[in-house]
Chains A and B, each alone.
Chain A
Amino acid sequence: MIVKDAVCPFCGCLCDDIEVEVEEGRVVAVTNACELGTTKFMGEKRMKNPILRDGDRWKDITYDEAVRYAADVLLEAERPLLYGWSGTHGEAQCVGVHMAELIRGVIDNTSSVCHGPSILAIQEVGHPGCTLGVVKNRADLVIYWGSNPIDAHPRHLSRYTRYAEGFFLENAFRDRKVIVIDVRKTETANIADEFVQIRPGGDYAVLSALRAIVQGKADTIPRTVAGVTREQLVRVANLCMNAKFGAVYFGLGLTMTQGKYKNIRNAIELVSELSRHTKFTISAMRGHYNVYGSNEVNTWMTGYPFGIDFSRGIAFYNPGETTAVDILARKECDAALIVGSDPAAHFPRKCLEHLADIPVVQLDPYPNATTAFCNVQIPVAVTGIDAEGTAYRMDGVPIRTRKVLSTDYLSDEEVLARMYARMQEVLEQ
C-alpha cells in the first residue's frame, strides 16, 4: 500500500508531500523525503512493552502498572519537572499542560535549549515574520545566519529558497540571492552568492554594525568587525536594501552563542531597520517537527511558551530559573517525566547527575540515552507514523500529521490521559 501526502515528522519543515510504501505493517520505501526523514520513517527496533528498573535489570510491566507508577511518583514530588514535548503532537502537549497544573509542577519543552532565546527576543521587540510560502513566492534575497539547512533542514532550500520556483520571480534560481553568515564555511555556504565568515562570538557586533550602516552611519564603523571587513558589511547592507523582499533565517549559531537572545533581538531590530527601505522578514529555523507546537500549546494554555512553573498554583515564567537545564543543574526538582525528547543525549553532565538521582519516567518508542536514567519507560506510537495529531511547522502553520500504518501501541496522548485520570482519582481520595 502506498500512502500519499504523508507528513514527515522529523524537522520543522514538516514536509507534507511524502509518499510512504507500507507492506505487512512495515514501512518499506519512502519517496520525496530527505535522508533524515526517510530514516525516521524506516525506524525499527522499537521497545515492545513498558519496562521498570529492578536493581540492575529491567523488568517487563504492563501499561497499567507503568501508568500507576508514573502517576504516583509525580504526585508525591514537591517539584516535578515535565520536560520534552517537541517530539509529540499538540493533543498530547495539551494533556501535559493540564497535568503540570494538576500536580503543580514545572513544564518545559526543548525550545529552552534551542530557540527559547528567539522567543525571549520576540517578547522584547516582536516578530516581523511570514510563512514559508511567502518567502518561496516573493523573496529575492534569503539570508541563512548561523544555520546550515543542507545538513539540518535539507529540503528547506529546495522547497522554499535556493532551488524553489517563485510565483512572483521570473527565474527564481537566477533572481534569488542567498547570503550565508556563519563562523565556518558550511555546506550551505558553498551554494551561497555571498558568504560572510564571522569570528566566533562576533554575531552581535556584526548585527549592530549592519544596523548602523543601514542607518547611514558606515563611517563610524571600524575597519573590521569580528573578522568581517567594513567593505563586505557595506556590500551586504546594500544587497539587503536593494532587495525587493528579503528573508532572514537563523539557527542555533545565533541563539546559542554568546549573547544568546540579545543576538536575536539585534537581528530583529536589523530587520525592522531594513523594513524602512524595503520589505524584510525574519524567522527561526525550528528544529524538531513540533517544537513550534509546544510553544503554541503552552502559550495558548498558560500565557507562556516554555519554562512554566505551576508550583504555586499559577503560571510563573522565568527562563534561566524555570527551565529544565537550570532546574536540573541546581537540583531543584525531585521527579521528572520526559516525553518526546532525549535530554540525556543533549544536556550537560551536571544535569544528568541529578537526573540519575531522582525518579524518572520516559515516554518514548525507542531505547535512547535517557533510558539509562529512567525508572520506567513507556513505549508509544510515533506521531506521523502510527499515531496522528497536530503539529506546527517552523512558520507557525498547523498541519495534521497522518497515520501511515496501524499498530497496537498507545499514542502519547492516550498514555498521558491515563496518567492524568489516575492522578485525578488519587487527588479526589
Chain B
Amino acid sequence: MKVTLAMKPAAKGFIPIEAESIVPKNFLAGTDLLVWRGNRELRLDEVFSVSVEGEADRAEGVEVVLSGETFRLKRVGEYMDGGKITVLGGIGMHCGNFMSGGTIEIHGNADGWLGREMAGGTIICRGDAADYCASGYRGGRKGMKGGTVEVFGHTGDFLAESLAGGTVVVHGDAGDMPGAEMRGGTLVVDGDCSRPAANMKGGSCYVYGTARGMLPTFKKIGTVQHEGRTLIQFAGDLANRGKGNLFVKGYEYLD
C-alpha cells in the first residue's frame, strides 16, 4: 500500500504541525487521522492531499510518501515499528523518535532530534541533519539504543549525544561535541568535527577527518589500520572512566 501525503500550502504562517499519527501502521485502518497545529487539532486531509494506492495487511507493506513544505512537520514516524516513510523534501524536528523498526528515508534536510532515542530500524537522510541527530532527551542517561542512522550531508552539534547502542554514520562534517556522553554503539564521522566523544564512557567513535579542539583527557594508544585508513587510537574520556575508544585521522588541541 502506498499512501501519498502532499502538504497543502500553509494557511497560518509558520506554526509547526505535530504529526505523530503519520506512522505506516496507522494507515492500515484508513486515513482518518488527526494532527495538531499549535493548539488546534486538524484532520489529516485539512493539511494534506491524501491518496492511497493498493492494500496492505501489515505495517511492513505500507509506504508513506510525504511531499510539499514538510520542513515544519514534527514527530513524523514517532514510535514507528515497521514499514517505510519517504520524505521527498525536508522534515521537521523529532522525526523517527523512539522508532524500533522500518525505514525512514529523507531526501532533503532533517531538523533537530532526528531519530531521538531510537531503538531499531533505519533512518537515511540524504541532506543535512540539524543538532541532536540520533541523540537522547533532556536529562536522559541513554540516547539511541539500536538501529542505524546514516546522514549523507553534515550534522549540527551534539550528534549521537548519550549514544548507547546502534550505529550512526555521517558522511559530511559534524558540529561540536559529537558522541558527547556516549556509552556504547558506534559513531562514524567521515569529515571533520570538534571535541568528539566528550566525557565518553564506552563505545567507539571514528573521525576520518580532523578532530578540532581535541580534549586533553584522551590518552594516545598508537595507530591502527581501519578499513584502509591509518587512524590514531585514543582511550578516554579519562575525566570519566576512560573505557571508550576514539579513533581520529588528525587532531588539534586548543592549547
A contact residues vs B (CB 8 Å cutoff): 77-79, 103-105, 120, 123-124, 199, 201-202, 204-205, 207-209, 211-212, 215, 217, 220-227, 258-259, 262, 265-266, 269, 310-313, 317-321, 330-334
B133 CB to closest chain A CB (Å) equals 13
Q: Please give, as numbers and ranges, the residues of chain B lying within 8 Å of A226 by CB-CB distance.
A: 254-255
Given contacts A205-B213, A208-B237, A222-B253, contact A320 B15 (CB under 8 A): no
B39 near A79 (CB under 8 angstroms)?
A: yes
Q: How far is the CB of A231 from chain B (nearest CB, A)?
A: 14
**Residues in A neighbouring B37, C-beta threshold 8 A:** 78
Known: A204-B195, A209-B239. 11 other contacts (CB 8 A): A79-B38, A120-B139, A209-B216, A212-B239, A221-B217, A222-B255, A224-B255, A258-B176, A266-B199, A311-B38, A321-B93
Q: Tell me the residues in window 196-231 of chain B with beta carbons closer than 8 Å to chain A beta carbons.
A: 198-199, 213, 215-217, 219
| Interface residue tally for chain B (C-beta within 8 Å) | 38
Q: Which of B1-59 contact A (CB under 8 A)?
A: 12-16, 18, 36-40
- Check B238 against A123 for contact (C-beta < 8 Å): no
Pick from B38, B112, B239, B254: contact of A266, CB under 8 Å: B239
- B138/A334 in contact, CB under 8 A: no
Please give the residue numbers on chain B whose beta carbons come within 8 Å of chain A beta carbons, in ascending order. 12-16, 18, 36-40, 93, 112-113, 131-132, 137-139, 141, 176-177, 180-181, 195, 198-199, 213, 215-217, 219, 237-239, 253-255
Main SS of the interface on chain B? loop
Question: Are A123 and B39 in contact (CB-based, < 8 A)?
Answer: no
| B216 touches which of A79, A205, A334 (Cβ 8 Å) | A205
Question: Within 8 Å CB of B199, what residues of A?
Answer: 208, 262, 265-266, 269
* Residue from the set A211, A212, A318, A319 with the largest chain B CB neighbour count within 10 Å: A212
A-B contact pairs, 13 of them (CB 8 A): A104-B38, A104-B39, A105-B39, A124-B141, A226-B254, A227-B255, A259-B195, A259-B198, A262-B177, A265-B199, A320-B131, A333-B15, A334-B13
CB–CB A78/B12 < 8 A: yes
- Quick one: closest A residue to B41, CB to CB? A312
- The answer to whether A201 and B18 touch across the interface, beta carbons within 8 angstroms, is no
How many Å lie between the Cα of A334 and that of B37 in the bound state? Answer: 12
A332 to B12, CA, bound (A): 10
The answer to whether residues A220 and B176 also contact, given A202-B254, A331-B13, A332-B14 and a CB cut-off of 8 A, is: no
Whole-angstrom distance from the CB of A424 to the nearest CB of chain B?
Answer: 16
A330 vs B13: C-alpha distance when bound (angstroms): 11
Residues of B within 8 A of A224 (CB): 255
Residues of B within 8 Å of A215, CB to CB, are: 238-239
Which B residues touch A220, using CB under 8 A? 217, 219, 238
Chain A residues, CB < 8 A from B14: 330-332
Tell me, rounded to whole Å, the shortest Cβ–Cβ distance linking B6 to chain A. Answer: 22
Q: Are the C-beta atoms of A262 and B36 separated by less than 8 Å?
A: no
Residues in A whose Cβ lies below 8 Å from that of B238 = 212, 215, 217, 220
Q: Which of A79, A199, A262 contacts B15 (CB 8 A)?
A: A79
Q: Complex: how many Å from CA A208 to CA B180?
A: 13
Expressed in whole angstroms, the Cα–Cα distance for A211 and B254 within the complex equals: 17
B-chain residues with CB within 8 Å of residue A317 when the two chains form the complex: 138
Q: With A201-B254, A208-B237, A311-B38 known to touch, is A225 a contact of B216 (CB < 8 Å)?
A: yes
Query: Cα distance A105–B195 when bound, in Å?
Result: 37
B139 in complex: contacting residue of A123, A223, A266, CB < 8 Å = A123
- With A205-B254, A222-B253, A332-B14 as contacts: A311 and B36 at CB distance below 8 Å: yes
In the bound assembly, the distance between CA atoms of A200 and B55 in angstroms comes to 59
CB distance from A206 to the nearest CB of B (A): 8
Of B132, B180, B181, B198, chain A has the most CB atoms within 10 Å of the CB of B198
Whether B217 contacts A78 by the Cβ 8 Å rule is no
Is B215 a contact partner of A204 (Cβ separation < 8 A)? Answer: yes
Report how far A209 CA is from B213 CA in the complex, Å: 13
Nearest B residue (CB) for A317: B138
Chain A residues contacting B113 (CB-CB under 8 Å) are 318, 321
A249 to chain B, nearest CB (A): 21
Would A78 and B132 count as touching, CB distance under 8 A?
A: no
Asked if B217 and A209 sit within 8 Å, CB to CB, the answer is yes
B69–chain A nearest beta-carbon distance, Å? 13
Contact status A312-B239, CB under 8 Å: no
Which 5 A-B residue pairs are closest in the complex by CB-CB distance?
A78-B38, A123-B139, A104-B39, A79-B38, A331-B14
Q: How far is the CA of A55 from the CA of B172 in the complex (A)?
A: 50
CB distance from A219 to the nearest CB of B (A): 10
Asked if residues B215 and A205 are in contact (CB atoms below 8 Å), the reply is yes
User: Cβ of A334 and Cβ of B15 under 8 Å apart?
Assistant: yes
Q: Are A312 and B176 closer than 8 Å at their CB atoms?
A: no
Minimum CB–CB distance for A94 against chain B, Å: 21
